Amino acid sequence: MTPRYAIVAAQSRNQVIGRDADIPWTVKGEQALFKKITMNGCLIMGRRTFESIGRPLPGRLTLIVTRQTQYAQPGCRVFHSIESALQDAQETERPIFVIGGGELYAATLANARQVHLTTIDLEVAGNVFFPDFPTPAFKLTHREHFESNHHYTYEIYEQPALETL
C-alpha cells in the first residue's frame, strides 16, 4: 500500500510553479504558511528543487530523489526512486510532504491523500507547471484567502477514495 502523503505546492493563476530553477514571485506570508504546514514533517523533493532551496530546511527531514547514484548532500537522505523515499519516510512516523518540483508533483499527485495548494493571484511566465488540478477524485475541504503584496488563496483538497484502501 502506498504510504499516506500530502503534496504542498504554490502556483500562479496560470499553473506556473517555476521558471528555470526559481519560483518567479515573492509573496509576503506565503513561506510562513509553507513552514507551518510542513514543520516536523518529512520533505520529499526532486534533486532540482533541493538545489534551488540549497540547504535542508530546519525542523524537517530532507529526502532528495535523484537518478544519480553518487549524489549526496550534507544533512539529507538521498533516494533513487520516489517509492523508496516514501517507504523510508513512512518509517519515521512523521507526516510526509512531497514539496516539488514539477516532475515530482506529476508522479505523485494521483495517490496523494491531501493537497495543500496555494494559488497566487498572478499570471506569470514560467516553464515548470503544476498538473491540471483538481481532478474529480479530490474534494475541497478548506479555502482561505490572504491579502498580501500579491493576494493568494490557500486550499486543502482530500482524496476520500484512498482513505478506504
Ligand X SMILES: NC(=O)c1ccc[n+]([C@@H]2O[C@H](COP(=O)([O-])OP(=O)(O)OC[C@H]3O[C@@H](n4cnc5c(N)ncnc54)[C@H](OP(=O)(O)O)[C@@H]3O)[C@@H](O)[C@H]2O)c1
Q: Of residues 11-40, which lie at the interface with ligand X (CB under 6 A)?
A: 17-18, 21-23
Greatest alpha-carbon span in the chain: 44
Q: How far is the CB of 162 from ligand X (least distance, A)?
A: 20
Range in contact with ligand X (rule: CB under 6 A) among 86-94, 95-103, 141-149, 156-164: 95-103
Contact between 61 and ligand X per CB under 6 A: no
How far is 129 from 76, CA to CA, in rounded Å? 26
How far is 140 from 17, CA to CA, in rounded Å? 20
Contact between 68 and ligand X per CB under 6 A: yes
Contact between 99 and ligand X per CB under 6 A: yes
Q: How far is the CB of 113 from ligand X (least distance, A)?
A: 18
How far is 23 from 17, CA to CA, in rounded Å? 6
Of 34 and 138, the one with the shorter C-beta distance to ligand X is 34
Q: 43: closest CA among 1, 92, 10? A: 92
Contact between 112 and ligand X per CB under 6 A: no
- The shares of helix, strand and coil residues in the chain, as percent rounded to the nearest 5, are 25, 30, 45
Contact between 121 and ligand X per CB under 6 A: no
Place of cell 509553507: 34
| Contacts with ligand X, residue ranges (CB under 6 A) | 9-10, 17-18, 21-23, 45-49, 52, 65-68, 80-82, 99-104, 107, 128
